[in-house]
Amino acid sequence: MSSAGVPRLDRAVLLQAAAGLLLCALGYFLAHRESSEVRSVLATAGGCMMPTDIYEPRSGTPLGSVVLFHGLSANRKVMSFTAEEFANQDLRVFVPDLPGHGKTPGPFTPARVESCAQSLVRDLAIRRAIIPERTILAGHSMGGAVAARVASHIAVAGVIAISPAPMHPAPGLPSEMLLFPTPPILAPHSLVLSAAWEPATARQIASDLVTQSADSSNKYEIIPRSTHVSILFVRATFEAVRSWCADILGTSSSAKLPRNAPAVGCLFGILGLSLLAPPFLREMTASPSAELPADSNRPFSFLRSVLLLAIFASLALWLLRFFIPFHFLHIFQGDYLASFLFLVGTCVLAVRHGATPRLRTFIATSTVASAAAAIVLVLLFAAWFELTFYEAWLTPARWLRFPAVFLALLPWHLAEEVSLGSPSKHSRLSRVMRALAFRAILWLALVAGILYLHSAQFAFVLLVVYFVLFSILQRMAMDVIRTWTRSAAVAAIFGAILLAGFALAILPIA
């Protein structure tokens, strides 16, 4: 006992919780320290039903307009910092959720995204919400490609394409990875920006948009020290954007940057919630240790596990060329991922059937408690993302898919737990590293499927940073559940719920 009569362990938990809450508070402050006048409308042009945020100019008097499009697996919330930058230049900004993203219902296809974007711009012009000759179409990644394509059909003041998605094949870039099969003729007064740390092929394709347009009013620029995502938050990007808007619309090139930092604030909150999660999980699954059976699951050979995963992943990729079992889910490339993990997990469990938990171990008080804890975490993290950086709150259409996605992912998580064995056999760090190695094998198999089988499942390459971050946090949480409940089945159910929630939040409805 400490001098204050509080056990040291309890004091450590309280300090951990206090640190977590402090980080969340700091994250919220960073994401919201400057407010913008924003209202939301439902854009129904073309029958697309797209929720659209409208950012009013900082001065209240618009000098022009911007229609801003987000990228693949993103949404209007991700573009809020960029929208605030345009609003600071006294421009009115329209930011829609494109089909299948955010709160807009599916289906998502690149062709439908382009059609809906074009319908939105035409409708805004007809309603005199924008004046085309005083309007810039802008976007990031897929949105940058959409902005360029729409501007080739509708005359506007200019285009700003930030790291536009590739639109023609190139060495090292199979045609199956293209969202759009052909590039547009770039409209006059188009600015194309690339991140310096993007692949050279992507930069070259973006540069080709300008060089092949043969219009001296167009410009290509590389933003130093930036990646495909961070380019949205780099000062050099906004200096280029401000200069371009000033030349085309006469806005101020010295407009201040927004003070909000949604991406940084979001990361602070994720760290804070990660500190809060372990005590919460222990409380949710608490049981007297004497009532818990010993965890006798011995880990399997790491090298043998890696070899089995490589073999079964190859087999799964071959089978998926002919039939995708969970195609009925209609989640863009998520149906493929669910099918892939289901097949690999089922094969591993078939080989290691002797170590697979009995059916009765799935039905226990700790199972219900852990499943409830997983749902709470899904909702908690989704709420945090909604507050700061990303629309992650699941819509009814996504919740309807949740049970099937969960069941599809359960065999893999159970196979992983069986292969890792009891937490008492390895340190927590060693266990996490082994699990990440297993998942790296599967990711490399998916990449090989793109390169050699032309599977076109490029989302897992594009979103690799998000999947890695999620995998680390998920794996650490699963280890807490496995240690506390001593059950591979309970930990697998917990992990499958988390991955189902993550996949449904980040992948478009197709």
Using DSSP bridges, classify how beta strands 64-69 and 91-96 pair: parallel, antiparallel or unpaired. Answer: parallel
Say if residues 414 and 407 touch (Cβ distance below 8 Å): no
- Residue 61 pLDDT: 87
What does residue 390 show for φ and ψ, rounded to 5 degrees?
-150, 140
Q: Euclidean distance between the first and final Cα of the chain, in Å?
A: 57
Which top CATH class is 34-259? alpha beta
Cβ neighbours, 10 Å, residue 6: 11
What does residue 342 show for φ and ψ, rounded to 5 degrees?
-60, -45
pLDDT tens readout for residues 270-317:
999 999 998 888 887 765 444 456 667 777 889 999 999 999 999 999
Cβ contacts of 427 within 8 Å, gap of 6 or more = none
Say if residues 373 and 480 touch (Cβ distance below 8 Å): no
Q: What angle do CA 80, 83, 87 make, to 5 degrees?
A: 135
Residue whose entry in the numeric block shows the structure tokens 């929630």: 501
pLDDT tens readout for residues 418-465:
999 888 777 888 889 999 999 999 999 999 998 889 888 988 888 999
Alpha-carbon span 209 to 404, nearest angstrom = 42
Sign of CA dihedral 399, 403, 405, 406: positive
- Residue 256 pLDDT: 84
CA 175 and chain centroid, separation: 23
Alpha-carbon span 467 to 500, nearest angstrom = 12
CA dihedral 311, 313, 315, 316 (to 10 degrees): 160
Q: Return the DSSP state at 45.
A: G
* Residues in the chain, pLDDT under 50: 1-3, 288-291
- Residue 45 pLDDT: 94
Say if residues 259 and 4 touch (Cβ distance below 8 Å): no
Sign of CA dihedral 413, 72, 212, 184: positive
Query: In Å, what is the CA distance from 194 to each residue of 80, 85, 98, 161, 290?
Result: 20, 19, 22, 9, 60
Alpha-carbon span 346 to 324, nearest angstrom = 15
What does residue 295 show for φ and ψ, rounded to 5 degrees?
-90, 100
Query: In Å, what is the CA distance from 51 to each residue of 149, 295, 391, 503?
Result: 21, 50, 12, 21
- Residue 427 pLDDT: 81
The domain segmentation of the chain, as residue ranges, is 1-33+261-284, 34-259, 301-506
Q: What angle do CA 491, 332, 462 make, to 5 degrees?
A: 80
Alpha-carbon span 356 to 446, nearest angstrom = 26
